[in-house]
Structure 1
Amino acid sequence: MNRHVKCALLAGAAWGVLAGASAAQDAEAAAQAANADQSTATVEDIVVTARRRDEQLKDVPVAVSALSAERLEQTGAVDITALQQQTPNATVQVARGSNSTLISFIRGVGQQDPLWGFEPGVGLYIDDVYVARPQGAVLDVFDISRIEVLRGPQGTLYGRNTIGGAIKYVTKRLDRDPNLTARAEFGSYDEHNFLLSGSLPVGDTFAIGAAVASYNHDGYGENLFTGEDQYDKDVMAYRASAEWTPSDDLFFRLAWDRVEDDSAPRHGHREVISTDGLWTPPASEYDTYAGITGEQKVVTEGVSLTGEYRVNDWLTLKSITAYRSGDTQTIIDFDETPNPTLDIPAIYSDDQFTQEFQALFTGDRWSGVAGLFYLDGTSSGAFDTIAGNLGLSIAAAGSVDTQSFSAFADFSYDLTDRLHLSLGGRYTKDDKDASVLRLFYLGATRTPFTGGVDRPVFAVRTDYTASDTFEKFTPRASLSYDFSDQITGYASVSQGFKSGGWDMRGDAALVPQTVNGYQPETVTAYELGLKGSAFDRRLSFASAVFYSDYQDQQITTQQVATPPAVGIASVVDNVGASTIYGFELEGSAFLTDDITANFSVGYLKNEFDEFITLVTGTPVDISDTREPQNSPEWSAYYGMTWRGDIMGGELRVTPSLSYRSDYHLFDIPDPILDQDGYVLADASVIWTAPSERWEIGLFGRNLTDVRYRVGAYSFPGATYNNSISAFYGPPTTYSARLTVKF
């Protein structure tokens, strides 16, 4: 408790210093800050759309990290997982056993399991289009304007499945002048990335644009049994858009994107000796002995049409129509040996249609947005659990159809020149239909569901259809006060919910209650924030303290049958409730005329209040033996950039450090898989030519070659040959990049 009090006092002291900073501005320092590039822009300069309307970051009563394209490129960010290093209290990683499936947690709330039918806890948006499924969502950083990370439940403006927060990937609007950018990057492990993007005006009101990117590198390790690469990358990404502005009041944008991931299967590293004593952990954390073979491919594609009409000075109407689809074929070897002890071939497929209407209002003392949202989506799949020691293959297949409708509104009113009130709410109704099938087949080979030999079903374990409706009203309220023209404080309360559903792996013979499904979970968050600039705008900052009440938590646990029964299945129940609290501070500082710094620090305390499980039919609270996953107590980032004139051009040197304290990969603490705290050291050197038409960059990542786990599978015991495996973040890499603008 003393440590908690000290943390609170430290945060309070920092707030006191910042809130009491002089509001007077030095003209030279202000000009320097205003003219700085977006990698160190102040909160007065940064415009975000966190509340679905353009606002200065300082005025938004939400904890938002806004990382511009310039800042991400300056630090050598390749894909969206770079957010984890620079955003406090966030986990943004590639899912275990995957190359392009996204796993996100914000303030300890998210979803580890990307199986179809499960809902994420952090919403992902591409230009305000909701991306329902995480497959193919490890977006590469190119042709963007910025990425916004909204922390805390966003149930009012973003709705269902944003109980942890939301990530907004905002692409660039097309230039009105012809332009073309070409980029090539080469580095460690035969890395070779290429990007070509540009836009072309056609007349005074129409423009077209396109981008194509290729990302490739060899594996960080090797499959010592098959000879395939481990942790390689083979991705093609495409974008095209057309924009029409027939008048100053009317705008249309048609956009298309596609990602193709042909990377080799990514298996884990066996962490312990097998039960039979034949397989030991490979020397390199990136190597494996996995024996399963098969196709590995992910394709995602989307198209959207956005229209905006400014009716008058106080009303703008907006429509966002979108369709997205994705297909995945993957193989995962849980036991990491050539034997089919626990092999998983899987197929995923999903599609979604969304329609959103918004009305944006602006008055003399008020502003706001109201709208309607509709989603019609289907998520389906099939996978085998090839259990060689049991002589069985277990087929799981099913689908979930979702129709979601919501109505929302959020309005702000200036009570005085300095005091502002914001009220909002959203009603959401999800209608879901599910089918779940689970079958036993004799023989440790693929079943007919994944391309195996057709043969009789040995046992039907699960076969049901179900329907249910999940609805919720999620409110939000905030009160903000301008202490000065530079500093704003706010207090808010918000709520979010994640929809209920059914476990697509459920074994009704082993766990009969699986047919009942599980109910929604909710988070109610209370937050105090302080944002602005101080010390003559040489310091720009955003800070928050928060307290969250997490109820009806959906937890996935594995059930292994005990003899004489056989089988393995998951159980998803509303078993948990948690109390989560902490603080965050991030910002930029102009240390000298030539040196700037970006920093962040997050403190997170996440504790189970209850964790109810069934033992011999009696509910038992085992929360004292459980720990929330992906919730490091401390996270921090510090990067400095030195700028200087070299050979007539500008040289920027940016070393940086990021830190995550120890964390658990599963709710059950495991000394084999729990990750100790670690520090990642990166550095970049970028020189821009005097003409600003070409640029050379050198990048080093994880310079001290730290080995850190980002995911794991745990199936201990003799039945599954003590299958405990882990997946690791990238090792040390170096690259050189050339960018030419025409």
Structure 2
Amino acid sequence: MYPFSNRSAMLLGASLTALLPAPLAAQDEVASPTSDTTAEQEPETNDIIVTARRRSESAQDIPIAVSVLGAKQLDETGAFNVNRLQQLAPTLQFYSSNPRNTAVNIRGLGVPFGLTSDGFEQGVGIYVDDVYYSRVASATFDFLDVAQIEVLRGPQGTLYGKNTTAGAINIQTNQPTFDFEGRAEVSIGNFNFQQARLAVSGPLSENVAARIAFSGTSRNGTIRNDVTGENIQSLDNIGLRAQLLWEPTDTLKIKLVGDYNKQDAVCCGSVFVGTGATQRPLNRQFAALAAAQNYAPPSTNPFDRVTDLDSNLNAGNVIAGAALKITWDVGPGTLTSVTAYRIWDWKPENDRDFTGLSIVALSQNPSQQDQITQEFRYAYTGDKFDFVLGAFAFDQRIDTQGTEAQGRAASRWNIAPNNPLSLDPGVLDGLTARNTQVLESTSAALFGQLSWKVTDAFTIQPGARLNYDKKSGFYQRRVFAGTGVELTGAETDTRSRAQLGVFTPQTSAPSDSDWNLTYDLTASYELAPDVLAYGTYAKSFKTIGINQNGLPTDAAGVPIAEAGTIRPEKVDHFEVGLKSQFWDRRATLNLAAYRTDIRDYQATVNNGQFGVLRGYLANAGKVRSQGVEADFAIRPGQRFTAYTNAAYTDAKYESFTDAPCPPKLSGGTVAAPGQTQSAPGTPGGISPANCDISGQRLPGVSKWAFSYGAEGNLSATVLGQQGEVYLGYDGTYRSGFSSNPSPSIYTNVEGYDLSNFRLGFRTDGGLNLFAWVRNAFDENYFEQLFVGPGNTGLIAGLPGDPRTWGATAAITL
């Protein structure tokens, strides 16, 4: 099946057709939002300079699949966070039900899809000016005074402090300058969208410079809550970044950086999407339970964007830190030290029953993180050899205080209708679980990479990494009845047993440590001027994990201690690529083909019951991701630029025999040994204890993903200002994907395409005025679908943004 919708095909075809006959201009570099040839350019060579390998070099000369986005592309396309960034980089996947439950993946790999556990690490490293951000939640902040972003695809553990098995997002901000410069930008739009950005830089003395930047974004929510009258899924973000640079000598630079980012949105909620048959008894599926309480969702059309969530919603999120970076030219190379301290303060409120009924009255897990990192690197560039040697240390502590409480509708919903207790709201009303979690994580590593120029055309690049990790956790769940009496789990009366069927006390303290030695080898050959071929093999790993949200239990209800620790992932990665420029560098075509095999893949297993263990980690047998990527950009003259980027990703479980079952096979009586399971969706049927999903696709991964666009401009004078009028278009297409760890027809998200336009006027003096419209054709699509708890068959969803429009005014001095 051809992977485009008709509209996508026509828009892409129009942008490519416009390239054919055009007047040529001399030696213009291609500028494409996601090709390897954007962002910072050297004026004499037209090269794009990146720091992907921890030293400055041309993006086209490095044997790495890397997408580079410059500040201009980020600003004019409205890509002010990672969620928007994925529309420009088709190999990047971003899914977030709230800042903590965020997945950032590259090529379908990185973070297990589903509820986030503190006990595992991300496979996509996020770095801002060389500082590692350990929490995936940090990916939800607004980009602040960014110079360029590099998205590196594939393992990067021999170049970066923290091991990154799937790739890295390397964010470079604008640095303090010894010449005064400033930039101000204001945007307004529908849904009361308001955004302001300001950056000022300049000297404080002959050898001291400073830079300060501010960003503020607010927007009303796109979903109406009929219960509270609020519009949820709003934006309310502020960010502040200050830098002080001291250059006491020509060979020594010392930079102190501080940043503060706060989010205070009315978020995060969902809408009713529909129901699907499970194997729970018919009188305990959604339709019967809702009818018994005279409940109906406010709309059965999710794109009416109406909900009736009755619990408070909040996504309070503070991310802040300070860093000291010292760069010292020592001998023939450069020594870099980066010392950083970061905090993350998470204050959520959620409605986990996804309905207007008070089933789960309270669900919140506020969390506080402190992390300290220290990295040393020595980089050398020579005629025959280049190398980077590094040492990295990481220490983290996370404290979480969880509270989950049942409401007045919980008894009817959670207790079987044939039990008289189901008619007594007081049995479960006020039943509360108080959870305490502590995680301490320590990591240390030595890493390095060598480039040996065997000939002028042939280079061999080996790398190695020695890593030590230790994790220690503590989890305690205490359970209190609505009367305030604590339940120990030993109670035998029917009322207490019904309460313990929802919340069960538990204590666990998993811990583990591990050493890993990994390596990679890349060979590259310059086939011709501006044509580079390369091949890479990487042996990588993702470190040990621990189950920090509690442990699964056996048939007797006893926690399974062996499930407390998770084996490290073992990664074998193969990649070949071609980087080329032709037509006097007016055109760029970069290709990559890869295969990544992961043994002991760290998967998230979600529990379907209300209030009990929300989710835990387990090792799947084997996962494979393979695919092909192409980035093409062209600029026949100064007046026109176009690009097309494509990714085909085939990511699946090769072996996962004891996975959680999809909704159709869940909720029934668990099959005894030798007992035959019922057909999927049989009410009151026999459900397997677990399911074999080997061969099924990984969640959240579109098989096909494209980004494409064009911009044309004409010389013009407006209000006496000489400049250019420009019209730009950016489109994206993603084919369908599964939104559940175990694929289910109920949670398959259909493919969608989005179109964004901008029309503006910019001058050589730094003025830029433009109007924009995003999701111009008002496409209805889902970012995620959720399986409601309790195996009732409820499916909720998070619709993507509708059409938004507005205008931006920016001036650079």
The residue type equivalent to 2:124 in the other structure is V
Q: Please, which of 17, 26, 29 is the counterpart of residue 33 of structure 1?
A: 29
Aligned to 1:334: 352
Moved more, 334-343 or 303-312: 334-343
Q: Please, which of 364, 384, 387 is the counterpart of residue 368 of structure 1?
A: 387
The residue type equivalent to 1:599 in the other structure is T
The residue type equivalent to 2:733 in the other structure is Y
Q: Please, which of 98, 121, 134 is the counterpart of residue 136 of structure 2?
A: 134
Aligned to 2:778: 705
C-alpha RMSD of the superposition: 2.9
Secondary structure of the residue aligned to 1:82 is helix
CA 447–218 in structure 1, closer or farther in 2 if over 3 Å, else same: farther
Give, in whole Å, the separation in 2 of the partners of 1:444 and 1:674. 42
The residue type equivalent to 1:409 in the other structure is G
Aligned to 1:252: 254
The offset of 1:135, in angstroms, is 2.2
The offset of 1:696, in angstroms, is 0.5
Q: Please, which of 300, 321, 324 is the counterpart of residue 339 of structure 2?
A: 321
Give, in whole Å, the separation in 2 of the partners of 1:446 and 1:412. 66
CA 541–248 in structure 1, closer or farther in 2 if over 3 Å, else same: farther
Q: Please, which of 436, 444, 466 is the counterpart of residue 405 of structure 1?
A: 444
Secondary structure of the residue aligned to 1:163 is coil
- 1:428 corresponds to 2:467: yes
Long gaps (5+) in structure 2: 4-22, 276-285, 415-427, 488-495, 660-670, 675-688
The residue type equivalent to 1:512 in the other structure is I
Q: What are the Cα deviations for residues 528-579 of structure 1, in whole angstroms up to 9, with x where unaligned?
A: 01112012211112210001111101111223469xxx94542421123122
Give, in whole Å, the separation in 2 of the partners of 1:101 and 1:664. 17
The offset of 1:445, in angstroms, is 10
Counterparts of 1:426-465 in structure 2, within 5 Å, are: 426-443=465-482, 461-465=505-509
The offset of 1:211, in angstroms, is 1.0
Give, in whole Å, the separation in 1 of the partners of 2:71 and 2:342. 24
- 1:474 corresponds to 2:518: yes
TM-score for both structures, normalised by structure 1? 0.89
Moved more, 479-488 or 701-710: 701-710
CA 164–438 in structure 1, closer or farther in 2 if over 3 Å, else same: same
Q: Please, which of 755, 759, 773 is the counterpart of residue 685 of structure 1?
A: 759
The answer to whether the Cα contact below 8 Å between 1:50 and 1:148 also exists between their aligned partners in 2 is: yes
Give, in whole Å, the separation in 2 of the partners of 1:573 and 1:616. 23
The answer to whether the Cα contact below 8 Å between 1:508 and 1:514 also exists between their aligned partners in 2 is: no
Aligned to 2:108: 108
The offset of 1:159, in angstroms, is 5.5
- 1:308 corresponds to 2:381: no
Q: Please, which of 786, 802, 806 is the counterpart of residue 735 of structure 1?
A: 806
The residue type equivalent to 1:522 in the other structure is K
Q: What are the Cα deviations for residues 699-739 of structure 1, in whole angstroms up to 9, with x where unaligned?
A: 111111122222233136xx475442111221110010111
The offset of 1:440, in angstroms, is 3.0
Give, in whole Å, the separation in 2 of the partners of 1:522 and 1:44. 40
Q: Which protein is richer in strand relative to its size?
A: 1
Q: Please, which of 579, 584, 589 is the counterpart of residue 536 of structure 1?
A: 584
The residue type equivalent to 2:734 in the other structure is R
The residue type equivalent to 1:738 in the other structure is A
- 1:661 corresponds to 2:735: yes
The residue type equivalent to 1:331 in the other structure is E
Give, in whole Å, the separation in 2 of the partners of 1:136 and 1:166. 14
Long gaps (5+) in structure 1: 5-26, 449-454
Aligned to 2:540: 496
Aligned to 1:24: none
TM-score for both structures, normalised by structure 2? 0.81
Secondary structure of the residue aligned to 2:656 is strand
Aligned to 1:10: none
The offset of 1:92, in angstroms, is 2.3
Q: Please, which of 592, 596, 600 is the counterpart of residue 552 of structure 1?
A: 600
The offset of 1:280, in angstroms, is 2.5
The offset of 1:146, in angstroms, is 0.5
Aligned to 1:290: 309
CA 318–625 in structure 1, closer or farther in 2 if over 3 Å, else same: closer
Give, in whole Å, the separation in 1 of the partners of 2:591 and 2:484. 54
Give, in whole Å, the separation in 1 of the partners of 2:298 and 2:353. 11
Secondary structure of the residue aligned to 1:174 is coil
The offset of 1:40, in angstroms, is 9.9
Aligned to 2:679: none
- 1:641 corresponds to 2:637: no
The offset of 1:525, in angstroms, is 0.8
CA 589–294 in structure 1, closer or farther in 2 if over 3 Å, else same: closer
The answer to whether the Cα contact below 8 Å between 1:119 and 1:161 also exists between their aligned partners in 2 is: no
Counterparts of 1:213-292 in structure 2, within 5 Å, are: 213-272=215-274, 274-275=286-287, 276-277=290-291, 278-280=295-297, 282=299, 283-285=301-303, 286-292=305-311
Aligned to 2:282: none
The offset of 1:69, in angstroms, is 0.8
The offset of 1:87, in angstroms, is 1.3
Q: What are the Cα deviations for residues 223-268 of structure 1, in whole angstroms up to 9, with x where unaligned?
A: 1111122111111110000111222211111111111111112211
Aligned to 1:610: 655
Aligned to 2:702: 632
The offset of 1:326, in angstroms, is 0.8
Secondary structure of the residue aligned to 1:85 is coil
Secondary structure of the residue aligned to 2:27 is helix
Give, in whole Å, the separation in 1 of the partners of 2:469 and 2:652. 30
The residue type equivalent to 1:32 in the other structure is D
Aligned to 2:642: 597
The residue type equivalent to 2:781 in the other structure is Y
The residue type equivalent to 1:670 in the other structure is S
CA 617–60 in structure 1, closer or farther in 2 if over 3 Å, else same: farther
The answer to whether the Cα contact below 8 Å between 2:268 and 2:313 also exists between their aligned partners in 1 is: no
CA 539–329 in structure 1, closer or farther in 2 if over 3 Å, else same: same
The answer to whether the Cα contact below 8 Å between 2:739 and 2:786 also exists between their aligned partners in 1 is: no
Secondary structure of the residue aligned to 2:746 is coil
The answer to whether the Cα contact below 8 Å between 1:503 and 1:514 also exists between their aligned partners in 2 is: no
CA 639–3 in structure 1, closer or farther in 2 if over 3 Å, else same: closer
Identity %: 26
Q: Please, which of 512, 516, 522 is the counterpart of residue 570 of structure 2?
A: 522
The residue type equivalent to 1:545 in the other structure is A
CA 606–625 in structure 1, closer or farther in 2 if over 3 Å, else same: closer
- 1:143 corresponds to 2:145: yes
The offset of 1:128, in angstroms, is 1.1
Give, in whole Å, the separation in 1 of the partners of 2:673 and 2:199. 61
The offset of 1:655, in angstroms, is 0.8
The answer to whether the Cα contact below 8 Å between 1:44 and 1:56 also exists between their aligned partners in 2 is: no
The residue type equivalent to 2:125 in the other structure is G
The offset of 1:118, in angstroms, is 2.9
The answer to whether the Cα contact below 8 Å between 1:163 and 1:495 also exists between their aligned partners in 2 is: no
Q: What are the Cα deviations for residues 53-86 of structure 1, in whole angstroms up to 9, with x where unaligned?
A: 1121112111111111112123222222222112
Q: What are the Cα deviations for residues 329-385 of structure 1, in whole angstroms up to 9, with x where unaligned?
A: 111212222323235222111110000000111222110100100001112313234
CA 279–445 in structure 1, closer or farther in 2 if over 3 Å, else same: farther
Moved more, 333-342 or 575-584: 333-342
Aligned residues: 703
Moved more, 613-622 or 295-304: 613-622
CA 527–444 in structure 1, closer or farther in 2 if over 3 Å, else same: farther
The answer to whether the Cα contact below 8 Å between 2:605 and 2:615 also exists between their aligned partners in 1 is: yes
Aligned to 1:58: 60
CA 216–103 in structure 1, closer or farther in 2 if over 3 Å, else same: same
Give, in whole Å, the separation in 1 of the partners of 2:110 and 2:347. 24
